[in-house]
Chains A and B, each alone.
Chain A
Amino acid sequence: QVQLQQWGAGLLKPSETLSLTCSVYGASFSGHLWTWIRQPPGKGLEWIGEITQGGSTNHNSSLRSRVTISADMSKNHFSLKLGSVTAADTAVYYCGRRVATPVHVDLWGQGTLVTVSS
C-alpha cells in the first residue's frame, strides 16, 4: 500500500526555518511528482510548491523567496524548507503525490501542525 509519512519540528520561533520531510512508501519515487500544501487553522487549503521527477521545482509566488523544495531519491523522500517564518505560517502542512494531468493530489500525507510562536 502506498503511503506518505511526514515529519518535522512542530514548534518554531519567528524568523526560524521550517523543515519538513515526507517519506514515500510503496511507490516509485522517481515516477511521480510531489507537492506541499498547507492549511492555516480554521482556514482553507493553500498550495506551497512542487517538485518534478527531474528535480525541477515550482512555488507559489507569494512564498517563493522563502521556499525550498528538494528530493532525495536514494532515500525515497522529499523535503520542504520555509525560511523566516512568522505567526502567519502557522498551519497544518501536508505533503502529497501530484498527478501530472489533470493536476491534483491523489495521495496525501497525514499532515503536520507547525506552530510559530515566540
Chain B
Amino acid sequence: NFMLTQPHSVSGSPGKTVTISCTRSGGSFVSNSVQWYQQRPGSAPTTLISGSNLRSSGVPDRFSGSIDSSSNSASLTISGLKTEDEADYYCQSYDTVNHLWVFGGGTKVTVL
C-alpha cells in the first residue's frame, strides 16, 4: 500500500496562485494516475481533474494538474484565486496491486 500526503492548508490572496502538493510514499505515480476533487463546505465533492491534468467539464482553466516524477508528487495549481475557491481539495490515486483507492488527507484552501 502507499499513502498520499497533502499539506493541511494553503492560503493566498485573490488573484494570486496557490499550489497544493500530493506526495506519494512508496512506488511511483503513473503519468495519468492522479485525480483532484474540490469540496466546498457542506457540499459533496466534485471532480476537478482526472488523469493528472484533464479538467472535468465546466472546470475553469485556472485549475491545472501536474506530476513531478523526480519528487514522486502531484500538484494542483489554482491561478487567479477567487473567493469561491475556498474549499477542501483532495488528491486520489489507485493502488493497482491491491485494487483499492487511496485518498490524500485533504488541503484546506483559504482566500485571504
Inter-chain contact A44/B100, CB cutoff 8 Å: no
- Complex Cα distance, B48 from A106, in Å, reads 9
CB distance A109 to B106 under 8 Å? no
Given A45-B90, A47-B101, A47-B103, are A99 and B50 neighbors across the interface (CB < 8 Å)?
yes
* B100 engages A47 (CB within 8 Å): yes
Contact of A94 among B34, B45, B103 (CB under 8 A): B45
Closest to A45 in B: B103
Task: Give 9 nearest A-B pairs by CB, closest first.
Answer: A47-B101, A103-B94, A104-B35, A44-B106, A45-B103, A108-B44, A111-B44, A44-B105, A102-B51
Chain B interface category by residue count: 20 to 34
Residue interface mask A16-40, B partner, CB < 8 A = 1: 0000000000000000000101000
- Point out the residue from B50, B98, B102 that lies within 8 Å of A106, measured CB to CB: B50
Contact for A108 among B46, B90, B98, B100, CB less than 8 A: B46
With A44-B103, A60-B101 already in contact, 10 other A-B pairs whose C-beta atoms are closer than 8 Å: A44-B106, A45-B90, A45-B92, A45-B106, A47-B103, A60-B100, A102-B32, A103-B101, A105-B47, A109-B44
Which of A44, A47, A94, A102 is the one whose CB lies under 8 Å from B33?
A102
A contacts, CB < 8 Å to B? 35, 37, 44-47, 58, 60-61, 94, 99, 102-111
Residues of chain B having any CB pair with chain A under 8 Å? 32-35, 37, 44-47, 50-52, 56, 90, 92, 94, 98-106
Chain B's closest residue to A62 (CB) is B100
A97 nearest CB neighbor, chain B only: B47
Is A102 touching B103 in the complex (CB atoms < 8 A)? no
A102 pairs with B100, CB closer than 8 A: no
Complex Cα distance, B44 from A45, in Å, reads 11
CA distance A58 to B95 in the complex (A): 13
Residues of A within 8 A of B50 (CB): 99, 102, 104, 106
CA distance A44 to B107 in the complex (A): 9
Residues of B within 8 A of A99 (CB): 50
Q: How far is the CB of B47 from chain A (nearest CB, A)?
A: 5
CB-based nearest B residue for A4: B44
A107 to B46, CA, bound (A): 7
Contact between B106 and A102 (Cβ–Cβ < 8 Å)? Answer: no
